[in-house]
Structure 1
């Protein structure tokens, strides 16, 4: 066969393939045009008009929630951030006649077509911020099958209000809710309900969801009817997420350090009564440390008018530390009580034996009162310094320190028993 004949043969095959496509390809082309017509008819004939169920009953919208992420819980602002997949299902017989004309049993619509179709006007009453994900396209889809069942799915991030009761903080359990409600249609026109089929739960949590400070113990669902400004009831769905706070972090970061500060303040009872600088420094340091710890604990919490469990602990620890400082002040006063008692020159037998040359004393060694009463400084008089430990006041101060060594730990242990028994 010549080269010219080869060219004619190839040209004939190309023309045949273009002008007379295969049966499968022809069917695909027909399906494409047919589906395009169905989309056009649906957008034109249905549009934004809500479905009209038989007998004038309300539109039933079944709901499902998939909790994809639980980002944060803010006690100061009393809110939480959650990412969800929202699934809505309802029945619209108007889709049946148009889908029957298509080549498939299901028709899907892109996000641009969805803007021209009716969707349930769902909103979140306790929402502070909401965002529909749009990378790379808006994360939402709408589809309808041959039976007239319509499904809508959207991926949404929400920051929701969560009123918290912090009386038992940090041993508290909180309930944060996801609320959904129809905005414009009353429950006579649109009714929301949770979709539950067999063992399938309408609210499902992603197994990878993990919170650093809380544990999700359960998710409870309920339905409500709420009256709005138009004085008509609106159908509302609520998913209550039960959160239990993890206590290990607070034990390590709050309770153990404050407990050690209290123990440190008790070291003052083992120091000598005369070690004034050391005992004062230890007492002031422990008091300031407890005040700083208490301020740090409440920095991340709202300013509530009631007392929290952590406030009871911090206040009691501060009370014990301050009491240790007061104990030293009392012990010091007792130890010095007998040293400053006045005496007269005639009461001191050693003075007459002192020669006239030695009667001159420094002003810091002898103090003469208005009534002629003289007092000697114990720090400069060796006689009084040696006898100081034998005064009744010093002995009483020692007894006070010894009693405090046992009394303070006993009272603190009793407080711990009552505290942990009450809050745990």
Structure 2
């Protein structure tokens, strides 16, 4: 006989059935999935415990080599590749550069081989990389470095089912970079990232570059004064008294950006040199302007050179920038020396002009004396040889000589030209004249030391004046009777002039000629220097 619950149990029974539809059934449906996820993580934990659990793995012992044999164990092969994230600074003064990289190592460790029956675990990730053995790599040219721990330590360690280990870490390094600045700033620099084993020799550990993409560089890598032209992977195994140590390196080839130095160094130096040439167009007597311009450009050039050398290390060889700044300084200093030469020539020209004015004044005095009677020279118009001192015509008489405090000359012919400076006019012969083939000359040297008379032939410069009695035979038209003195002729020495000499003769003073010559020679020599400089350092030396 079937017994049914009483009426008071009906409500409770129906409530249980109702809630079971919303609570029990969904819980039963989700039960297999929850247990599956738990089993997956449990399987991962079991694998980790089995390979690196307590007593299962000793991280002090390196892995066995790939070519292990009965005679011995081969070295562990570590494959290296790096990812170049940034290069923040390249210092010529300190010869160093800063770089941020992701450093990766891969090797095989047979002790870490595991089996996953479900084949769902591709690799195991460790948050504590110190649980397993790692190569003792160090950077041989490192000066400073640090790890990145924000927000968590930037370290990755993966273990594959075949025992393969991937170790990746982010590093910031300051590495030394010895530079050859002989061609600075037209140079290329080779900087290295060197990685070697510190304690393991090549019998235990060998570093090798990864076969594919050993070095990766971030796209759009920009540097302020350099450009990364290329990179080359190399090996740098070294031998010391403790053994041979494996080493790999990557050579980063940096090309210096010349546009920066063209704007900051070369163009300002060219402008300073050109500004120093402005003094060639100033008046030689503008001494304050030319001195201030020359000294200012010289000091500015010296300041420019000091600023350049302050950013470079002291080296024992001549750099390309030293050649440029040295020659520019030489041209600026040469412009200042040119002013000193012009100033000296200007003062010399002034003294010469003063002497010339004195000579012209003396010449005028001579003309006045010659036109006024000639008593200052002791000339007499008579033919006797007594008190007057005689004339040219009486040179054979006893009266010829110095008389009356003057210089006696024989009496001139009876008739002379009215104007002693006019062109020569025919004159009648004198009874006491020498033969026609002989001529007597009296040279008047218009210099401050006085007058000098000579019978030599004239061979001096064009600034000499000749007072010459011209002795002629009978002429059809005699000269005026009131001309009592000899004729004075101005002669110029014959000389040949080329076009350059005639062009320079257009400038009256030597100071002006020096300025004009400097206007041509300085730009010409500076242009020639530029041609030689750029051909040598850019074309020939590459």
TM-score tier, shorter chain, comes to 0.7 to 0.9
User: Aligned pair 1:204/2:206, yes or no?
Assistant: no
1:10 to 11, 16, 19: 19
Alpha-carbon distance between aligned partners in 2 of 1:2 and 1:408, rounded to the nearest angstrom:
119
Alpha-carbon offset, residue 42 of structure 1: 2.5
1:99–1:107 contact (8 Å) kept in structure 2? no
The residue aligned with 1:358 is none
Where do 1:126-141 residues align within 5 Å?
Answer: 126-141=141-156
Q: 1:338 to 1:145 in 2, by over 3 A?
A: closer
Match for residue 46 of structure 2? Answer: 37
1:304 match: secondary structure: coil
Inter-partner Cα distance in structure 2 for 1:125 and 1:8: 76
CA contact 1:62–1:192 (8 Å) conserved in 2 = yes
Paired with 1:27 and 1:133, the residues of 2 have a C-alpha distance of 37
Where in structure 2 are the equivalents of 1:18-417 lying within 5 Å?
22-44=31-53, 45-48=56-59, 49-53=61-65, 54-55=68-69, 56-96=73-113, 98-100=114-116, 104-112=120-128, 114-196=129-211, 200-228=212-240, 230-337=241-348, 339=350, 395-417=509-531
Compute the TM-score of the two structures, normalised by the length of structure 2.
0.65
> 1:413, 1:257 → 2: CA distance?
16
Higher RCO, 1 or 2 (CA under 8 Å, sep at least 6)? 1
Contact 1:99-1:105 within 8 A present in 2 as well: no
Q: Is there any run of 5+ residues in structure 2 with no aligned partner, and where?
A: 1-9, 366-447, 449-506
Count, aligned residues: 377
Once residues 410 and 3 of structure 1 are traced to their aligned partners in structure 2, the CA distance between those partners, rounded to angstroms, is 117
Deviation at 1:103, TM superposition (A): 6.1
Render the CA deviation track for 1:119-168: whole Å, top value 9, x for unaligned.
11111000011111111111111111112211111111111110001010
Deviations 1:183-204 (A, max 9, x none): 11111101000011xxx32111
Quote the offset at 1:102 in angstroms. Answer: 7.9
More strand per residue: 1 or 2? 1
Q: Post-superposition shift, 1:395? A: 1.1
In structure 1, stretches of 5+ residues that fail to align are 353-372, 374-392
The question of whether the paired residues in 1 share the 8 Å contact of 2:44 and 2:121 is answered with no
SS at match of 1:176: strand
Greater Cα shift, 4-13 or 203-212: 4-13
TM-superposed CA distance for 1:109, in Å, is 3.3
Greater CA drift, 84-93 or 47-56? 47-56
Superposition TM-score, scaled by structure 1 size? 0.82
Question: Is residue 99–residue 145 contact of structure 1 (8 Å, CA) maintained in 2?
Answer: no
Contact 1:170 1:245 in 2 (8 A): yes
Deviation sequence 1:372-414 (CA, Å, 0-9, x none): x9xxxxxxxxxxxxxxxxxxx9711111111111001111011
Per the alignment, residue 434 of structure 2 pairs with none
